Structure formats: C-alpha cells, structure tokens
Amino acid sequence: MNIGKMDVVGRLSYNCDIVFRVIDIKVEGGKKIAILYGEDYRLCADAPYEDLVRLDPERVRRIANECRSQEEQSFRLFRQDVHLLLQKQEYEATEGYSKSGGYFQIPGRVLHLDGDSNYLKKCLTLYERVGVPVYGIHCSEREMPTRIGELIDVYRPDILVITGHDAYSKSKGTPEDIKAYRHSWHFSQAVKAARRKVPNLDQLVIFAGACQSHFESLINAGANFASSPTRVNIHALDPVYIVSKISFTPFMERVNVWEVLRNTLTGDKGLGGVETKGVLRTGMPYHKKE
C-alpha cells in the first residue's frame, strides 16, 4: 500500500490505537521512516514505513465520533463548573453593584501559541464556545522561545498557553533527561523567556506542554500548569479546559488544582500544576443598550 503525506494512518505494532496523519517521510539507513502527528492527541511519533496502514474512512469516522462524544461530555461538565462560578459571583456581588443597576465581568485574556495549526483551529473553536477572549498564534515549537517576548508585549495576555507536539524517546535517554524529548526543551525555554517578561505566577498564568512532555522541567521553568506528570498522551483540547477555568475564576480566589483537572479529558496522569489565582474581574456600572 502506497502511503503519502497527510494520509490518515495507524501503527500496526500498536494495534492502530491512535489515529495519525503523515507529516513527512524520510529515509534513514536505507529505511523509510514516517513522521506522524496525532489527530486528537498532541503526540509526534516516528514510525517505520512498513508498520503503517492507511485507515479506512469508516474506522476513522467511528474513532472520531467516540472522541467527539468524550469532548462533549467534558464540555458539558466544564460549562456546569463555569455556570456555578458565575452564579457564585452574582450571589456575592456587593450591595454597591446591586444598587448600581448591574455589573459586568471581564474574563482573563488568553494568548495561545500552538505548534499545530489544525489543533489551534480546534482550540479556538472551543474558546469561542466557552466565551474566553483569545488570540491564537501558529508557531513552530522551536521558534517559541525567541518569539514569546515580543508576543507578550503585543497582546498583553493574562494567561499564556505554550503547546504543540512532543514525545519521549526511550532510545535517547531516561524519562528524567529532557534531551530525550522532542520539544520539552523548547517549551521550557519559552516559559523561561515569558517569566523574564512577567516573573509573578499570578500576573501571567502559564500552561505549557504536550503529549509526554517533561512536566518537572516546565514547572521549574515557571509554568503554573503543565503536562505530563506520568508521561502519558494528552488530548488536543486539554489546555483549553485548564486555562478557561482560570479565566472564569475571580482574581480574589485561588484555583484548586484538582478542580481544574477533574473535567479535562486526560486528568491528573497527564496534567498537573500549582495553586494559582483566578483572573476574572468584576466592574460597574453595566447599562443595557436599548
């Protein structure tokens, strides 16, 4: 079977457990090697050409439907969380706000850097559904450390997402060695560059990482939340759920880490973080335009 770039494939040795698209095909030592990006998971993998099989449209559709069902369930749970947060805010609004005839709320602004343009589109669609103000930038993982400072100056975000593709390679070193990861070093350098601009963890909230990323190095670099504590794959939309929860949490409240993780698609095996303040702000007066 002839497999080319952008074909949707599975790996026979892994029983086609993840749907990939072929990004590139190269020759190493006389053998064909395919570079693969996960369709729903932020995973980049190398695979022998002969280990690949093109997936039939019906199988791809079935896997996609199962994934969409999980996404919708997570989305419903997240919306419930946000609704409760906003109800609490309304209940706790001061008498001054009430007498003014109303108040308005400003969720935290997100700057989302993504190494995958397709994932970025999916994430921007979810941000829009949730109601989070966001600027989306497609940027290769290797370029992120040099571009992040200028982008922070331009967009002045409250929350920063640094994500794309990553993978741990056992042949390159132990799980503790950041050199054994495809892009964890680039992510950690981007976080450090962002922290040189905004050192305080509560003035700029940062999520960093992708599938199997070196969690400890990202947290030590200054990220509030990161992947992946047990080096598992994370879903493409997980960063959106995490930062959206922070975006809708009032700045006078601290975000409980478990409450942030519980409605993600991956959970605490693939995501973790530190206690962080919310960034939602309430103001007044609010007058409806006739």
The predicted-structure confidence for 84-142, as pLDDT tens digits, reads as follows 766 666 655 555 555 555 678 899 999 999 999 988 998 999 999 889 999 999 999 99
The DSSP-derived string for 161-227 is EEE--B-B-GGG--TT-GGGBSSHHHHHHHHHHHHHH---TTTSEEEE--TT--HHHHHHHT-SEES
Nearest in space to 223 (alpha carbons), one of 237, 210, 241: 210
Task: Count CB neighbours of 172 within 10 A.
Answer: 11
Per residue in 251-276, pLDDT (tens digit) is 888 988 888 888 788 889 999 999 99
- Is residue 52 scored above 60 in pLDDT? yes
For helices 57-92 and 238-247, give the axis angle rounded to 10 degrees.
Answer: 10
Classified as helix, coil or strand, 3 is coil
Q: What 3-state class would DSSP assign to 47? A: strand
| Structural tokens at position 64 | 């996609």
DSSP assigned state of 250: B
According to DSSP, the residues that pair with 255 across neighbouring strands are: 276
What's residue 97's pLDDT? 56
| pLDDT in the model for residue 231 | 95
Q: Is the four-CA dihedral 251, 196, 267, 59 of positive or negative sign?
A: positive
Model pTM score = 0.83
